[in-house]
Amino acid sequence: MIKHLTGDYETVEYEEKRCIMLYHNTQYEEYPVHWHQEIEIIMPLRKCYRLEIADREYVIRENEVFIIPPGELHHLFACEGERLILQCDNAMLGEQPMFDSIMRGLKAPVLIDDSYGSELQAAAKKTMLEIFSLYFSGAELAEVKIYSLLVQLLITLRTYQLTARQAQLDCGSDKVEEYNEKFDLVLKYIDNNYMNNISLDTLAGIAGYSKYHFSRIFKQYNTISCLQYINERRIRAAEMLLQDPELPVTEVAMRVGFKSLTTFNRSFKEIKHCTPTDYKKLCQKR
């Protein structure tokens, strides 16, 4: 299944005029630790499937749906059975601000099983089967319909996560709405100013909270700390700049808000699992 592997990085080769790759996989084959820019979605049709991410092993059962976020190192074990493995170019999702909330729901792997409720699990299964049918149909609008189905699935998943967040924050819907409004302002500020020095005092002031309360609620609301979020936003911007062969890595680091090349290199490798220099070389090989 992995056709182009450079180190740990997989370059997904799409068919002409396609941004979706779907494998009807029945091979008893192990796929070594690797990562890619694409969102990957796996659904076993017959027998379980096993994989490992960050030293944690997952077992996906028949008709459960597993979503691997972009940039996540993962290892697929050799398993008997049959499964659908989908990879999707997420450039549109990653670059358009209106999809930011959806992408925030993919900060970690997601196993859609019965713990998510029968309705969401059934919707995820139905989506994968519809995509399976469309992918091999040859219909003119198949690719557009597939992308639309994927976006709808991710919206449904994010809606579930936001509802669960309300219970986690242990507050009423009015309070959650307040958090939504305040953190929307904060996240938009970060989007517009990530290249500058952003202080905790400034962000807390925008939200109207004390620094302590802001830090605690931010992590509960976004599942990561404020500094982690800012660094992830900077790295996302750096990915785009590193595609320019004429732009030195040091200049990229400065443009996206890092004060030192060392910090940029460390943060980039933590998030993307390779150095900025290696990433730049991979972009040039595409």
* Helical spans, DSSP H, in the chain: 91-95, 100-104, 118-135, 142-169, 173-193, 200-207, 211-222, 226-241, 249-255, 261-272, 276-285
Percent of the chain with pLDDT over 90: 58
Q: What is the pLDDT of residue 136?
A: 92
| pLDDT tens sequence across 58-94 | 999 999 999 999 888 899 999 999 999 999 988 777 6
Q: What is the pLDDT of residue 137?
A: 93
Q: How far apart are CA 254 and CA 273, in angstroms?
A: 20
Query: Does residue 167 register a pLDDT over 60?
Result: yes
Query: Does residue 5 register a pLDDT over 70?
Result: no
Q: Kindly state the average pLDDT of the residues 137-162.
A: 91
Q: What is the pLDDT of residue 7?
A: 72
Q: Kindly state the average pLDDT of the residues 182-191.
A: 90
At residue 110, the 3 state secondary structure works out as strand
Q: Kindly state the average pLDDT of the residues 9-36.
A: 87
Query: Does residue 173 register a pLDDT over 80?
Result: no
Query: Does residue 286 register a pLDDT over 60?
Result: no
Q: What is the pLDDT of residue 282?
A: 80
**The pair of three-digit structure tokens given for residue 55, joined into one six-digit string:** 């030293």
Q: What is the pTM of this model?
A: 0.76
At residue 45, the 3 state secondary structure works out as strand
Packed helices 261-272 and 276-285: angle between N→C axes, nearest 10 degrees: 60
Residue 45 — very low, low, confident or very high, per pLDDT cuts 50/70/90?
Answer: very high
Query: Does residue 98 register a pLDDT over 80?
Result: no
Q: How far apart are CA 113 and CA 60, in angstroms?
A: 8
Q: Kindly state the average pLDDT of the residues 172-188.
A: 81
Q: What is the pLDDT of residue 211?
A: 93
Q: How far apart are CA 165 and CA 220, in angstroms?
A: 8
| pLDDT tens sequence across 187-246 | 999 989 999 999 999 999 999 999 999 999 898 887 789 999 999 999 989 988 998 889
Q: What is the pLDDT of residue 236?
A: 87
Query: Does residue 177 register a pLDDT over 80?
Result: no
For residues 35 and 1, the answer to whether their CB atoms sit within 8 Å is no
Query: Does residue 35 register a pLDDT over 60?
Result: yes
Packed helices 226-241 and 261-272: angle between N→C axes, nearest 10 degrees: 90
Percent of the chain with pLDDT over 70: 95
- Across all residues in the chain, what is the average pLDDT? 89
For residues 9 and 34, the answer to whether their CB atoms sit within 8 Å is yes
Q: Kindly state the average pLDDT of the residues 28-42.
A: 92
Q: Kindly state the average pLDDT of the residues 155-160.
A: 90
Q: In the 8-state DSSP scheme, what is residue 35?
A: B
